[in-house]
Amino acid sequence: MTIEFVKSHGAGNDFVLIEDLDDQIGMLDGGFVSVVCDRHQGVGGDGLIRIAPSDQADFFMDYYNADGGVAEMCGNGIRCLAKYVADRGIIGGDTLRVDTRAGIKHLVLYRNEEGLVDRVRVDMGAPILARADIPVAGDGDPLHVAVNGFEAACVSMGNPHAVVVIPRLAEIDVERLGPAIETDETFPVKTNVEFTEVLSRDEVRVRVWERGVGETQACGTGACATAVATNLLGLTERTVGVHMPGGRLDIEWTDDTTFLTGPVVEVFTGTLDEHIGRKLPAPSRR
């Protein structure tokens, strides 16, 4: 089989997007996803997004991590979806509603002089702060969770995050500590990990270890979780610039919701040829 795709990124967090608005492909096989996202044998990406129809919103974001696992939400990926459908005229206007496994998200699109989307604001919803709902095993304040020799402030943005505030980000071995915390038994469904250095009351620097992916250039839900956690810890204000290796994301946490604003870039288009089609199981229907 052959499938057309687009490669895009939001602040360096990159994705393979596949349009399936007629719902002909359906939910994807995990092995197919993992090889497509492989940076040596496939296209390469931190995740794969199938753009699917929705009865409740304009589109459904069927999102998969690079290891083939289904994920709830991706703040950078949803901006890539918005650019895809807007730049191709599939939708008009500057607002968009996208259904995800973490609920319906409302987006505002910003265009450049050529009329193409280059920045998107996403209403990410309210953070989840109840320990059992994040989820985090055990009892006690989820903002002070002892794990692997560190204290983590745990927050969910539809997916779980453990924010670890440290004095100097450069001194942290992310490749070693990231997976150790991700898979710690404290987190029943594993967790994303944000190693965070507070620069000022309105700026932080973060490196992210994403569940099922590894270290990524940026993470939208992780940026939101970091802003919420550092504010609750008394370290930052509610409007925070989050500096990640791939660029800056701007977060605003209000009484009712959390807004994520950041850039989006389309890199190239292509076709998954028969070589990949022969190697992998066919995508399965939902």
**DSSP for 97-127, written as a single string:** EEEETTEEEEEEEEE-TTS-EEEEEEE--PP
CA distance 262 to 196: 19
The catalytic residue positions are: 74, 219
User: Are 80 and 43 within 8 A, CB to CB?
Assistant: no
What are the DSSP E strand ranges found in the chain? Answer: 3-10, 13-19, 47-52, 59-65, 95-100, 103-111, 117-123, 145-147, 150-156, 160-165, 192-200, 203-210, 214-216, 239-244, 247-253, 258-263, 265-272
What Rg do the C-alpha atoms of the chain give, in angstroms?
18
CA distance 98 to 81: 9
Token couple for 124: 């990410």
CA distance 240 to 194: 15
At 82 the three-state DSSP class reads helix
User: Are 259 and 252 within 8 A, CB to CB?
Assistant: yes
Token couple for 99: 């259904």
CA distance 177 to 182: 8
CA distance 206 to 222: 9
